[in-house]
Structure 1
């Protein structure tokens, strides 16, 4: 029955206790480190009822089987663990700088070889994937807002390499499962920093992977990685993300409407050299006049926007991404990444407009 419901309805209805007279409508937080012997689970590093409720919801929204992790980077690291030692991973030139740092570190250690590609060049991605073990996509890319045609990439991989194609992993943090479902386009694994839109309140760290139904082998490998490496979420963190997902559709609708209005006003503004927006979602980037100093001045001048890293919260956030040492040099020094929140758009615009040089 649930498969017939709209995503917004499933985000609210799933992950609930059975509807019995007098029963609570929400799952409690299961604070336990162990279980009474004789059941399916013996130790809490393997599973937790609060994780399972969250995994039910997220798995349904993405169309696969979800596993939760201690953070978004823990989920990315688990996905990269699918690359055998000495293997090859293909990734966009512009991805989240934590992912960039992880791949660089592993490449320096001789654990893998990383091939970098243009996220928007389907042919280049497919060509670079020859002999690769994992193709790690991120769409839209962070912070350049480049969009990959995931469906076309997967089709190209199947046509050129058949069963020898790499495992396709797609980071869906920016878009969320309400805007796109990469598994439906043929991806094998979806990755989330649930810290961002899924949680939506900037109050917890959590990550997740979601595996396509036909790839039970990958689900088992990721579960084993989580169990042995110990990057498990706390039950309170899982509960907070589950609560956040209940309003994901409302928050995303508001953030997207705000982002589109801001894009319309920023486009052509004399202090803005370029606006980067993928056409959906609540994330956008702008390149402002005045170079690095001009961008830093905007961040210092805002009063309603929060100058901080991270994104997807109810509060609007802004930052200059090149301030981070791991950000790649091809990201412009004057690029500001904006995460539209749920405040009144006129108030957000007034604050941003007074801050622009």
Structure 2
């Protein structure tokens, strides 16, 4: 039997298979199929783990599985924000960070706080204006991209942006939370680092708070690992176990949710109460724009099956009006509602939205 710890047995396997088989224990008689949860803060000295802040068998299993999908080495973090904080810490004092104006609110908030303290200089850009992004990358220490963007669902020309940023000497981070490694692999396009809020599609069941970073360069991996260890941004063993269990079904969940998203985007585009539908053609997130904040709030309040929640990427369908958050970009329409489609039946999801939309007049 092949040793599950030998990475070569994964060569040539398709993503749907990798999600199931990567990160398994050795295939030996009476060994479990899954890496057990290890609740340990301390290990016997003399090995590689030493202490619970540095390593855990469950982390290693999760990191191997997600790494096989992303095509790099993965480090698990306590949250997506912990992971992004570690990456922003790579920027030297006073370094320039290029970031899309439409990005995850937590990322923009972190950058705003760092800029207020004089740690970094932030250049916000329209990420779909490739020429503007390339111009802004000149002299930057870090170029941070997010595609599709949250919640505008803009798709960035990652290949062009990454190539230009690398030529300018900048590190490149791509937030791959929305696309997942099943729809794009930024490391293959030349990105240095790939970020995930594993809370979302990776874990997929609204019960885990976790982040992850994928990287190819060994020196950069060591730097990010050092920051996780020093700052104590390590995930819990139970969270990692649940995230890996969720990852096993990511291809199935995403396939169904993506089908729902595409169908809803097509149907909602025909409803008179919807002024605009934003869907990039892949993934399970759809944004719809209504006339104003009142109409959007009424839609959210009127549904019964969909749940108002600020997270996304889980088996259940959620929605929210994004400008209810004070820090959301002012260029996001007041009436924009972000929909995260789950795996429920499409007819039930559609009927619930239409029932609420029809009350708007």
> What TM-score results when the alignment is normalised by the length of structure 1?
0.97
Aligned to 2:62: 54
Give the SS at the match of 2:11: helix
Q: How does 1:197-346 map to 2 (within 5 A)?
A: 197-212=201-216, 215-289=217-291, 291-346=292-347
Kindly indicate whether residue 169 of structure 2 is the aligned counterpart of residue 165 of structure 1.
Answer: yes
Distance 1:330 1:122 in 2: 18
What's the C-alpha RMSD, in Å, of the aligned pairs? 0.9
Q: Given that residues 29 and 236 in structure 1 are in contact (C-alpha distance below 8 angstroms), is that contact kept between their aligned partners in structure 2?
A: yes
Aligned to 2:106: 98
Question: Aligned-pair distance for 1:3?
Answer: 2.4
Distance 1:128 1:36 in 2: 50
Q: Given that residues 143 and 165 in structure 2 are in contact (C-alpha distance below 8 angstroms), is that contact kept between their aligned partners in structure 1?
A: no
Aligned to 1:114: 122
Gaps of 5+ in 2: 1-8
Aligned to 1:29: 37
Kindly indicate whether residue 352 of structure 2 is the aligned counterpart of residue 351 of structure 1.
Answer: yes
Aligned to 2:139: 131
Question: Aligned-pair distance for 1:144?
Answer: 0.2
Aligned to 2:82: 74
Question: Aligned-pair distance for 1:42?
Answer: 0.9
Question: Aligned-pair distance for 1:41?
Answer: 1.7
Q: Given that residues 165 and 172 in structure 2 are in contact (C-alpha distance below 8 angstroms), is that contact kept between their aligned partners in structure 1?
A: no
Distance 1:222 1:202 in 2: 26
Aligned to 1:147: 155
Distance 1:65 1:40 in 2: 17
Question: Aligned-pair distance for 1:253?
Answer: 0.2
Question: Aligned-pair distance for 1:22?
Answer: 1.2
Q: Given that residues 141 and 170 in structure 2 are in contact (C-alpha distance below 8 angstroms), is that contact kept between their aligned partners in structure 1?
A: yes
User: Structure 1: which 4+ aligned runs deviate by more than 3 Å?
Assistant: none
Deviations 1:133-156 (A, max 9, x none): 000000000000001111111223
Distance 1:82 1:252 in 2: 32
Give the SS at the match of 1:272: coil
Question: Aligned-pair distance for 1:268?
Answer: 2.8
Distance 1:225 1:82 in 2: 9
Question: Aligned-pair distance for 1:23?
Answer: 1.1
Give the SS at the match of 1:116: strand
Deviations 1:112-141 (A, max 9, x none): 000011111111111101110000000000
Aligned to 2:4: none
Q: Given that residues 89 and 135 in structure 1 are in contact (C-alpha distance below 8 angstroms), is that contact kept between their aligned partners in structure 2?
A: yes
Q: Given that residues 98 and 326 in structure 1 are in contact (C-alpha distance below 8 angstroms), is that contact kept between their aligned partners in structure 2?
A: no
Q: Given that residues 295 and 320 in structure 1 are in contact (C-alpha distance below 8 angstroms), is that contact kept between their aligned partners in structure 2?
A: yes
Deviations 1:186-223 (A, max 9, x none): 101000000000000000100000002xx222111110
Distance 1:172 1:153 in 2: 15
Deviations 1:64-116 (A, max 9, x none): 00000000111111111111111110000000000110000100010000001
When the two structures are aligned, how many residues end up with a matched partner? 350
Kindly indicate whether residue 183 of structure 2 is the aligned counterpart of residue 183 of structure 1.
Answer: no
Which residue of 185, 192, 199 maps to 1:195? 199
Q: Given that residues 165 and 171 in structure 2 are in contact (C-alpha distance below 8 angstroms), is that contact kept between their aligned partners in structure 1?
A: no
Aligned to 2:72: 64
Distance 1:308 1:126 in 2: 35
